[in-house]
Homo-oligomer: A and B are copies of this chain.
Amino acid sequence: MGTANAISADLIAVLVAVTAGCPRVLTIRDGLALPSGRFEPGHRSLQAGLRAWVEQQTRHPLGYVEQLYTFADGERISQAGHRAISISYLGLTRQGSGETCGSAIWHDWYRYFPWEDHRGGRPEMIELLLGPRLRGWADAPGERAARHQRGQRIAINFGLDGHTWNDELVLQRYELLYEAGLVAAAGKAMEADHRRILATGIARLRAKIRYHPVVFELMPPDFTLLQLQRSVEGIAGRLIHKQNFRRLIEQQALVEETGEIATATGGRPAKLFRFRRQVLDDRAVAGAKLPVVRA
């Protein structure tokens, strides 16, 4: 156990908040990196280490923290000598009043993945920019089988040729673009593997909101059902049928009325609701799914 075996561990956070239906991620260095800090022997645990420095970046407590993935550098970037392990986390918080301390800035996550936002229909950039260049990449190999396989992957991941768009394949799409050498062609860049880690976080959150009531970690205490819906839509990157959304929320008793009415935002005033924290006990980790269509 000399220094030859010595390694270090970095904690990297994908910290998410949603403002007015817009999902944001906390970044540093002008949006080029995710906040991260070294794990030190003084930290009680990995999560404690993460929380320790996250509180230096934002005043809000992390409502929910979940581990994403651990990897050693050199899995992509070969490097001599000292090895570093990166442990990434997904954290959910409310973007309240006092934040953006120092150089930390909240960025719309679709700035990094513009092709992931289908709320206004399929983004044009898929047909106009990515599609053609992906097809070029798919036609490159000499063997017919390899070409076909690439074509298939593209169709499935990007919902082409009769396939439907699957909003959970964020990471797979990023990997595909990476292999095709296209990640620089669209969306804002990040240092090292950070953009890939962000993709992992988005994918995880999109998958999670379907069967676990985590959206509420991102909501203010009181909210209307439309605000809730907009948050889910922002995360999923697609629109939801309003009436069905309400049906599901209500029949699962995820929320209760506060008794108050929202000051109208342009139409009939809406009832205000709050999350029934008890459901976290009730269903334990299981159940409690949100809509977000399936096919």
Contact = CB atoms under 8 A, between A and B. Distances in A.
B285 A169 contact: yes
A286 interface: yes
Interface stretch (A91-99, A130-138, A149-157): A149-157
A45 interface: yes
Contacts of A3: 3, 6
Interface stretch (A64-72, A102-110, A249-257): A64-72
B83 A70 contact: no
Interface string A256-289: 0000000000000000000000000111111000
Given A6-B3, A8-B1, A9-B85, A283 B45 contact: no
A222 to B, nearest CB: 24
A239 interface: no
13 contacts: A1-B6, A3-B3, A5-B8, A5-B38, A6-B7, A7-B39, A9-B9, A39-B72, A45-B74, A46-B70, A156-B282, A166-B286, A172-B284
Interface of A: 1, 3-9, 38-41, 43-46, 67, 69-72, 74-75, 81-83, 85, 87, 149, 152-153, 156-157, 166, 168-169, 172, 281-286
